[in-house]
Chains A and B, each alone.
Chain A
Amino acid sequence: MKFVDEFRDEALAKGLAAAIAREANPARRYSIMEFCGGHTHAIFRYGVQDLMPENVGFVHGPGCPVCVLPIGRIDNALELAEEHGVILCSYGDMLRVPASKRRSLLKAKAEGADVRMVYSVDDALRIARDNPGREVLFFAIGFETTTPPTAVALRIARAEGLKNFSVFCNHVLTPAALNHLLTAAAVDVDAFIGPSHVSSVIGSRPYEYFTETFRRPVVIAGFEPLDVMQAALMAIRQLNAGHAEVENQYIRVVTREGNLKARAIVDEVFERRESFEWRGLGAVPDSALTIREAYAAFDAEKRFSIVTRSAPDAKSCECAEILRGAKKPVDCKLFGKGCTPDSPVGSCMVSSEGACAAYWTYGRFRREAA
């Protein structure tokens, strides 16, 4: 596949590994946080850590929309599916995530709720058209990548006058979370690998404020394993030179301004929430979107008068610390005992790009074989 296979090339990986080994100063450690779960996934799936010198380590960040969604919002979705009898549509990733009392949308479906996995929000629109007598609700999750498609769907729904379609909006914003990580959460990392596909939409400009304020390099990188390695090399070079700039490794897709058309559509449909709760980070100001008044008729929060109650994480679950990069999956008492991908307690064990699930699925042998 073009633009895929060439970024998974073993010979180029060896060369980059040699370059990193050469340029990393053995007298210091390099702690690099990859914000996105997509990078976490690539690191584990391709075994990127194996090609890194001992003193270059990756810290897994909170960039997994399934992982950061607070339990209270999933409880809301369950309530909508079970008590309001809606057809609840969401992405496959969301269906297994544990809510309060270890319930999940998949379990609700098993008990008779009409929960449907969709590949695209367009499928939810189609289901609404095909079922005029039923309320169809799209449980919208995701960062700046998944937000524009939801915005397009809302525009289509309004244009068509779809009466039975609504969106439960849980879209969140990356720069606010990054900002929060360094201010309130005070993570101890030297540099960041910045989001790839999020940046294709928002561009590289939003990170500039960030490097100026916090003096840490941000290298925007693609999700292929060679992208991650090249970004690590760029971060190491910046750190060695004492720089703290926004660099763009993912030039084939990311520009400084991003996708202006997509941003305009998002702006037309959504506005910022004052505050939104993130699992692991707590309430983060200006970190999420809500549906604008012009589209209020399609806002499930209004249509069903949704009230979100804060629900605690399971006792002993360290998802919060892990999402901040303060702990590693293996530091959690539940890891591999009460909590596995088959029976997840915390959200980080659910999504295959959650740090715990990635560690369990792809990286466990490092610890056990040692």
Chain B
Amino acid sequence: MSVIEARFSAREGKLTGAVEMIHGAGGRATAELIRTLFRRHLDNPLLAQGNDQAAFPVAAGRMVMTTDAHVIAPLFFPGGDIGSLAVHGTINDVAMAGARPLYLSAAFVLEEGFPLADLDRIVASMAQASGAAGVPIVTGDTKVVEKGKGDGVFITTTGIGIVPDGVEISGDRALPGDMVLLSGSIGDHGIAVLSKRENLTFETEILSDSAALHTLVADMVGAVPGIRVLRDPTRGGLGATLNEIAQQSGVGIHLDEAAIPIKPDVSAACELLGLDPLYIANEGKLIAIAPPEKAQLLLAVMRAHPLARDAAIIGEVKHDPHAFVQMRTRFGGNRMVDWLAGDPLPRIC
């Protein structure tokens, strides 16, 4: 099929056809794809200039930059898709420095044969997510790989942002005595995605929590500029993320299992598959570590934001040369919360 056929059909309201090698060759077909698909959805003045880069003025002060490669199966899942995920994930990585995100870039690696209608859905979803967040995608790139050399679509997004004066947030700043806060229930994203894997199908109403957290962070940083650590517990879940922070800061962390919010769907699915919700991915939650005297204020600010209504204080930073993360169980005992070994595979035993 030629590129001419692979175009937006006003009557059908969607694109037909599939990605071809020629779409990545840099010629007229590439330009056509950019025009009929990417620019139609992601339109903004910087992108519209049609350059290979975006030029814009910057403020004085500290800037942050982050980049994130997105691969996920399935591409569409309850509560989101790879497009919205790519936008939210990168905005969140910028925001976890306490920064206000400004701009995003997006690079697509498309597999030959990938339906253009699906690509259209993904780009529309990116546009929706970036529009809602107020963070435009100002430059991008597309490459096509031969069939069998990709998994439909991979998206790499880069983001930049500005850190407000007086804010210094970093994973190595947690101190003994600090409190650990969590913005809401864990495991929603990972379980929503797992529920759609071909070999695991189970029915649940659970939706991915994929969301842009920068407005929540802005409220938090505004109220408590002295927040020491912010991080979004994505891949590896709460357990792995807290271990990273403990290592970086050289401290121990003690959690209270009863305080950690988990939705009934997530705990039930985890029981069924033999998984531990502590290691299930999240895409719209954050961990904050703050000085103890600011913890209640921070909690109140978080709970006032729609994305953190279920926020809770879940633990405390302790002096510990081993940098262990431990948890007092609901049952009254203690356990380690270790790094996750490998992928969380469903268990039979």
Contacts and interface: CB of A to CB of B under 8 A. Distances in A.
Contact of A146 (B267, B324, B348): B348
A64 interface: yes
Contacts of B264: 1
Interface of A: 1, 4, 8-10, 13-14, 37-38, 44-51, 64-66, 91-93, 95-96, 106, 116-119, 123, 142, 146, 225, 340-342, 351-353, 357, 360-365, 368-369
Dominant secondary structure at the B interface: loop
B345 A95 contact: yes
A169 to B, nearest CB: 16
Given A8-B330, A50-B333, 11 more contacts: A10-B330, A47-B333, A66-B349, A91-B347, A92-B345, A92-B346, A93-B348, A117-B199, A146-B348, A341-B341, A341-B342
Interface in B20-68: none
Nearest to A36: B349
A365 B199 contact: no
30 contacts: A1-B267, A1-B271, A8-B331, A9-B331, A38-B349, A45-B329, A47-B332, A47-B334, A48-B333, A49-B333, A50-B332, A50-B334, A51-B333, A91-B347, A92-B346, A92-B347, A93-B345, A93-B347, A93-B349, A119-B200, A123-B199, A142-B348, A225-B333, A342-B339, A357-B341, A361-B341, A365-B324, A365-B334, A368-B322, A368-B324
B268 interface: yes
Closest 10 CB pairs of A and B: A47-B333, A341-B341, A92-B345, A46-B331, A50-B333, A362-B335, A91-B348, A47-B334, A10-B332, A361-B338
A360 B331 contact: no
Given A10-B331, A225-B331, A362 B336 contact: yes
A320 B10 CA distance: 69
A41 to B, nearest CB: 9
Contacts of B331: 8-10, 13, 46-48, 225
A368 B247 CA distance: 16
A353 B279 CA distance: 17
Dominant secondary structure at the A interface: helix
B326 interface: yes
A289 B274 CA distance: 26
A117 B199 CA distance: 8
A116 B345 CA distance: 12
Contacts of A118: 199
B268 A1 contact: yes
Contacts of A352: 274, 347
Q: Which of B273, B330, B341 has the most CB of A within 10 A?
A: B341
Contacts, number: 107
A6 to B, nearest CB: 12
A20 to B, nearest CB: 13
Contacts of B339: 342
Contacts of B328: 47
A65 B199 contact: no
A286 B346 CA distance: 30
Contacts of A14: 332
Contact of B199 (A116, A142, A369): A116
Given A50-B333, A365-B336, A96 B342 contact: yes
A59 to B, nearest CB: 18
B123 to A, nearest CB: 32
Interface in B302-349: 320, 322, 324, 326, 328-336, 338-339, 341-342, 345-349
B322 A369 contact: yes
Nearest to B334: A47
Contacts of B334: 47, 50, 365
B333 A142 contact: no
Contact of A117 (B335, B341, B345, B349): B345
B278 to A, nearest CB: 11
Contacts of B346: 91-92, 117, 119
A50 B322 CA distance: 20
A16 B240 CA distance: 33
B336 A64 contact: no
Nearest to B268: A1
A57 to B, nearest CB: 15
Contact of A46 (B333, B342, B347, B348): B333
Nearest to A146: B348
Nearest to A226: B331
Contact of B335 (A10, A46, A368): A46
A216 B144 CA distance: 68
Contacts of B273: 119
A91 B349 CA distance: 9
A368 B320 CA distance: 11
Contacts of A353: 349
A364 B338 contact: yes
Contacts of A123: 199
B341 A342 contact: yes
